[in-house]
Copies of this chain bind each other. A is one copy, B any other.
Amino acid sequence: MMTLDPFIAKLERHQQLTPEERATLDQLPTRLREFRKHESVAVAGESPSHSAIVVTGMAFRVKQLLEGERQLVAVHVPGDFVDLHSFVLHPLDHSVITASPALVALIPHDKLAMILKNHPRLTKLLMWDMALDAAISREWMAIMGKREAYRQIAHLFCELYLRMRQAKQLRNDGFDFPLSQIDVGDLCGLSSVHVNRSLQQLRTDGLVILEKGFLQIPDLPRLIKAAAFDPAYLHLLADPTEI
């Protein structure tokens, strides 16, 4: 089964797996499901009995505030465990929506319980994945609090570029970017009008090329510098500026 490969590869970059551990993951009985753009993978308030891993496409997590405002609290790329926390935390505090057509693997929670019971090293890897997810949230919090729109958006592009590269989703110097300017605004806590203007500035400065849902970064080191982006929190292994 190939579907969990991007996820397993991500774990394996962090820690070598034994053949038996690898087999355990490979044989996780998963249901593979296809979603159209903007379909719900999980719904806030519910307590699903499975967690989802993105196989292809993108997804985000949406928090709905009391007065109806929509805030995106995460974006996910292939290989990401979108809602591992739903295994332990009920009910869900947010929904998961596809950002593009997507293929998603659903892992039954009782299989995760089996891992907890029998595979302490895999369990630790699951905790690592949760911790990494939380580290990304913290970085976003810091960026939202301290940086103006221009650099905040630049930061988002840097992060997504590196995560998509790790997920082997790059073509040329770019990747499919299904988010609308409204989405980017909801991610960064900005209005779509302001996103539009900041984006134009990023284009004018030659830092990004974004057209027809495809994002290119002609000079990553320059964008990283403009964003004051520090990739440490992503816990990637290689030098982030190298191709």
Chain A contacts to B: CB under 8 angstroms: 61, 63, 65-67, 69, 71, 73-74, 85, 87-89, 91, 93-94, 113, 116-117, 120, 123-124, 126-128, 130-135, 137-147, 186, 188-189, 228-230, 232-233, 235
A150 to B78, CA, bound (A): 39
A162 to B13, CA, bound (A): 40
Q: A132 to chain B: which residues have CB within 8 Å? A: 89
Q: A116 to chain B: which residues have CB within 8 Å? A: 120, 123-124
Sampled A-B contacts (17; CB under 8 Å): A61-B138, A63-B139, A65-B228, A65-B230, A69-B146, A71-B141, A74-B138, A88-B131, A89-B128, A89-B132, A91-B232, A94-B138, A113-B124, A116-B124, A117-B120, A140-B141, A146-B189
User: Which residue of the partner chain B has the closest CB to A188?
Assistant: B145
